[in-house]
Chains A and B, each alone.
Chain A
Amino acid sequence: MSNARTYRVSNSEHNQSLTHRLSEWFDRQASTLFITPAVILILVFSIFPLVASLVIAFSRFRLRAGSYQVRFVGLKNFEKQFFGSEQFHFLGTFKGMSVLGYAVSAVAALLVLWWLYRYCRRQFWWLGFIGRLLSAAMGLGLVLLFSATLLSGHQFGTLGVTVFYVFAGCLIQFVIGLSLALLCSQPIRGKTFFRVVFFLPLMITPIGIGYAFRMLADTTKGPFSPIWQLAGLGDFSWSTDPWAARIFIVIGDSWQWIPFVFIILLAALENIPRDHHEAAQVDGASGWQIFREITWPQLVPVAATVMLIRLIEAFKLVDLPNIMTSGGPGIATESMSLHSYYAWRSLDLGQSSAIAYLLLFTTVIICVSFFNYVVVGRIRRNAA
């Protein structure tokens, strides 16, 4: 540092003052300069497209010679998804609700009301209330959706499929990721080996995984076909059964993302001080007790955030269903991203953007709800 200064002093006076003034100016503007590149990048590449996409979602968009044609159509694109000819595709087929469906919806409605009531009684802030109202509406809407479709024997659309992928996928990834992390946190040999090997699936491109799992799942030419035949399932193909196909996609997605959950949870586990643990062991506590009383509470904040990241990414699932089943059989495995992608591909950009916006809306509400009620709640409770 002092060397640099002597060097500068030895330069001409004028020059010194200029550089000096310049560096001072830079220093004063440091706070702006540090953050501006990121803000500009996000504004140009995220916010501008977001707004432009919104415009397209409210219009019919056609490419013509030399330019494009935008015709404003109001809410038509959204209307089509909710009430029009795409209703079955986005929401599902509605043909009356079963008794079970009514029962489940009623219970859900009561629970939601009670939850809101409790919030109003305890503390009330209008912004918080609006947020809770939105979450409640989303939650209730999804329950109603599944009640009217799944529980009433009808088919649900891409919204339901996406929600299934997200929750089933995240649950599996969390359970297996945590189990692996717990196993690896035991005093074992070759920890580095396992860590590197378990990390591998994350490095493969998702489309590669899609194709690889399509090979593996092939019941006539795949590696498991002899087992499949032995089990007497030679005539059954996973790809022609809606639930089997969906589950297969969740398996592929999980295979790729378990490493992510695993690696972070393992790090969290290793960060927990060993002394409590060992003290408990000396006291003769069982493994389960140690986990519940000592490990789990310390793990919760990390786990909640990891799952938040996964939640955000899971909503974007598109490569796997596109490659493994092309959204089939029927529309059974089509996620919302894929739905939007297919609309784009047939040049229906208005629909494509409308669906994308609906996806964004769903993702934001679910992720923010999860963040506010689970992540923040847990951390607060933990801190208390």
Chain B
Amino acid sequence: MKKTTSFLSGVIGGTLLASVVGGSAVAAEFDGIEINILTRPGPVIAQRLVERGEEFTAMTGAKIRVNEVPFAELFQKILTDWATGTNSIDVGVFASGWAVELADGDLLEDLTPYVEADEKLQFDDIAPFFREFNQKIGGKTKLITIDGDFQMLYYRRDIFDEMGIAPPRNWEEYMAAAKATHGKDLNGDGEPDYGSCIFKKRNAQSYFAIMSVAAAFSQTQGTGQGFFFDTDTMKPLINNEAWIEALNVYKATGEYGPAEELNQDIGDTRALVQSGRCALAIDWGDIGPLSIDEAGAAIRDKMGATVMPGTSRVLDRETGKLVDCTPEICPHAVDGINISPFAAFGGWSGAINKKADDKVKAAAYAFLSYMNQPEQSNLDVTMGWTGYNPYRNSQLDDTANWVAAGFSEEFALNYLGAIKDSLNNPNMASDLRIPGTAQYQGNVLDRELARFLADEITAAEAVANIEEGWEEITEDFGRDSQREMYKSSLGITN
């Protein structure tokens, strides 16, 4: 029995894998190799790794073992495992932003040579932001994306059409639309529903939402400009009117949201959206596939997607004040509205432990590549439960896969159009990717945001506190090295 299996897998693996790793593979090349992957608990993200892992095992003989730890402890686990030389993990699948700290400690395998030798990957098909910014650290490819993350605005197309409201392009329109729809029964259960659902729970993911809001106010000159720090002085670009405005906007949306929004994480918000209780919501790409899910019956074919709302008043970095957009100030603005889709979280990506055995590294790369290749990923991103969102052009150009998954042609076009608009926006904002990101965002920003939302402090106090906290962290890590890391994360090389 065992013999047959390994023989079969040898044959299949031999034929399939020959193309997987640039023709260098021999039959069942990875027989007897075990790859330990660490990621967050499934079914989201992890489950698809398990399933694709089984296929991969059948093909190549390499055994894929997916280990799961709670999301909050994931980065800690990977960093300590690799940094202390425990090395029980070969591949980490985590937020691309976290990788910088690992790369800084020289813990990540440089994947550039692998990628160059890998034709099946179709490197150029990956959307530019992910290819050039997200997967690379200091110009070297260190990550393989399996999920493309940035936030978009979702609205109830049926309700908006009925009421004659256009999808909001800026925050004034957003608030007006939220106000108009709040308290109406949106899902026909006789109970009043909400105009706006944006997760605001502390110590969860709310800081991604505030950055999404703030990006358009602060970044105008394209991805390379960045909006967290001044690239010369490494002073935080936080204590200014742009962030104060963003904080106020974010808080104001709560007025048209559920009473306990302060304790709602993205999962709670999504449950509300899926049961048809929200007219407007900010979310990653997931809402699209989730709306064709069984649990999303209430919103099937009723959702619309568009890029994040923008603003016509943007930050003047000299004075810290908001000024009106002009073609010089906002070169990428559309109709005078500056838009900056924020690549919140950067997407789940795989990275390989530099200290792993060479054979394991080769097998691990082959597996990550297998996940990323259009043949596999173009199908995976259409399924809501995988948690994978589009990051390749071929995933957006062809609606066939999406329609096959259950999208209507109309919604598929609308949804993919919104993604394309975001992905190809030259002003897309990159998430913070420097050492200490967890402290900057997860600790200081998150806490001050929570205190502001809970009315403990004013917006001005919040931004002042964030600036102070960030400066301390920068000092701790070393201002010069942080500045260099920040610049290289934005692709500035001088």
Is B a genuine binding partner of A? yes
Residues of A within 8 A of B79 (CB): 63, 347
* Choice from A66, A220, A330 contacting B260 with Cβ under 8 Å: A220
B83 touches A328 (CB 8 A): no
* Bound-complex Cα distance A330 to B258 (A): 18
* Bound-complex Cα distance A344 to B85 (A): 19
B454 touches A219 (CB 8 A): no
Q: Mark A208-242, 1 if CB is under 8 A from B, else 0.
A: 00000000001110000000000000111111101
* Bound-complex Cα distance A342 to B84 (A): 21
Residues of B within 8 A of A67 (CB): 83-85
* Choice from A93, A325, A328, A348 contacting B443 with Cβ under 8 Å: A348
Tell me whether A329 is interfacial, beta carbon within 8 Å.
yes
B447 touches A331 (CB 8 A): yes
Q: Mark A314-337, 1 if CB is under 8 A from B, else 0.
A: 000000000001111111100000
B469 to chain A, nearest CB (A): 6
Tell me whether A346 is interfacial, beta carbon within 8 Å.
yes
A residues 186-222 touching B (CB-CB < 8 Å): 218-220
B residues 456-474 touching A (CB-CB < 8 Å): 456, 465, 468-469, 472
Tell me whether B451 is interfacial, beta carbon within 8 Å.
yes
Known: A218-B260, A238-B260, A331-B447. 6 other contacts (CB 8 A): A63-B79, A219-B260, A325-B263, A331-B451, A347-B79, A348-B439
A329 to chain B, nearest CB (A): 4
B305 to chain A, nearest CB (A): 26
B259 touches A328 (CB 8 A): no
User: Are A346 and B468 also in contact (CB < 8 A) when A63-B79, A330-B451 are?
Assistant: no
B105 touches A63 (CB 8 A): yes
Tell me whether B161 is interfacial, beta carbon within 8 Å.
no
A345 touches B202 (CB 8 A): no
B107 touches A328 (CB 8 A): no
The 9 A-B residue pairs whose C-beta atoms are closest, nearest first, are A330-B454, A237-B260, A239-B263, A329-B454, A328-B202, A326-B203, A63-B83, A330-B451, A346-B443
Tell me whether B423 is interfacial, beta carbon within 8 Å.
no
* Choice from B73, B107, B262, B451 contacting A237 with Cβ under 8 Å: B262
For the residues of A in contact with B, the DSSP-based class is: loop
Residues of A within 8 A of B258 (CB): 220, 237
A217 to chain B, nearest CB (A): 9
B83 touches A68 (CB 8 A): yes
For the residues of B in contact with A, the DSSP-based class is: helix
A150 to chain B, nearest CB (A): 14
Tell me whether B453 is interfacial, beta carbon within 8 Å.
yes
* Bound-complex Cα distance A325 to B204 (A): 10
* Choice from B106, B107, B450 contacting A329 with Cβ under 8 Å: B450
Q: How many residues belonging to B are interface residues under a CB distance threshold of 8 Å?
A: 39
A347 touches B84 (CB 8 A): no
A361 to chain B, nearest CB (A): 23
* Bound-complex Cα distance A153 to B469 (A): 25
Q: Mark B229-264, 1 if CB is under 8 A from A, else 0.
A: 000000000000000000000000000001111110
B205 to chain A, nearest CB (A): 11
* Choice from A234, A343, A345 contacting B72 with Cβ under 8 Å: A345
Residues of A within 8 A of B469 (CB): 85
Residues of A within 8 A of B453 (CB): 329-330
Task: Tell me the B residues contacting A by CB distance below 8 Å.
Answer: 72-73, 76, 79-80, 82-85, 105-107, 201-204, 258-263, 436, 438-439, 442-443, 447, 450-451, 453-456, 465, 468-469, 472, 476
Least CB separation from B447: chain A residue: A331
Residues of A within 8 A of B84 (CB): 63, 66-68
Q: Mark A59-87, 1 if CB is under 8 A from B, else 0.
A: 01001111110000000000010001100
* Bound-complex Cα distance A80 to B106 (A): 31
A residues 280-338 touching B (CB-CB < 8 Å): 325-332
Tell me whether A155 is interfacial, beta carbon within 8 Å.
yes
Tell me whether A246 is interfacial, beta carbon within 8 Å.
no
B203 touches A346 (CB 8 A): no
B202 touches A329 (CB 8 A): yes
Residues of B within 8 A of A342 (CB): 203, 443
Residues of B within 8 A of A343 (CB): 443
Tell me whether A132 is interfacial, beta carbon within 8 Å.
no
* Bound-complex Cα distance A238 to B442 (A): 24
A347 touches B260 (CB 8 A): no
A332 touches B259 (CB 8 A): no
Residues of B within 8 A of A60 (CB): 476
* Bound-complex Cα distance A240 to B455 (A): 10
| 8 A-B contacts (beta carbon < 8 Å) | A85-B468, A89-B447, A237-B260, A240-B260, A326-B202, A329-B262, A330-B450, A345-B76
A63 touches B447 (CB 8 A): no
A331 touches B105 (CB 8 A): no
User: Are A347 and B439 also in contact (CB < 8 A) when A236-B259, A330-B451 are?
Assistant: yes
* Choice from A63, A219, A235, A327 contacting B202 with Cβ under 8 Å: A327
* Bound-complex Cα distance A171 to B36 (A): 49
A219 touches B447 (CB 8 A): no
Residues of A within 8 A of B455 (CB): 330
A58 to chain B, nearest CB (A): 14
* Bound-complex Cα distance A146 to B181 (A): 44
A152 to chain B, nearest CB (A): 15
* Bound-complex Cα distance A63 to B79 (A): 8
* Bound-complex Cα distance A65 to B87 (A): 11
* Choice from A66, A240, A329 contacting B83 with Cβ under 8 Å: A66
User: Are A327 and B203 also in contact (CB < 8 A) when A89-B447, A332-B454 are?
Assistant: yes
* Bound-complex Cα distance A348 to B435 (A): 12
B454 touches A328 (CB 8 A): yes
A328 touches B72 (CB 8 A): no
* Bound-complex Cα distance A65 to B105 (A): 5
B120 to chain A, nearest CB (A): 31
* Bound-complex Cα distance A235 to B183 (A): 12
* Bound-complex Cα distance A89 to B465 (A): 11
Residues of B within 8 A of A235 (CB): 259
Residues of A within 8 A of B465 (CB): 85
User: Are A346 and B107 also in contact (CB < 8 A) when A328-B201, A331-B447 are?
Assistant: no
User: Are A237 and B263 also in contact (CB < 8 A) when A66-B83, A68-B84, A327-B203 are?
Assistant: yes
Residues of A within 8 A of B203 (CB): 326-328, 342
User: Are A234 and B259 also in contact (CB < 8 A) when A65-B105, A348-B443 are?
Assistant: yes
A219 touches B259 (CB 8 A): yes
B456 touches A155 (CB 8 A): yes
A157 to chain B, nearest CB (A): 11
Of the listed residues A84, A235, A326, the one surrounded by the most CB atoms of chain B closer than 10 A to its CB is A326
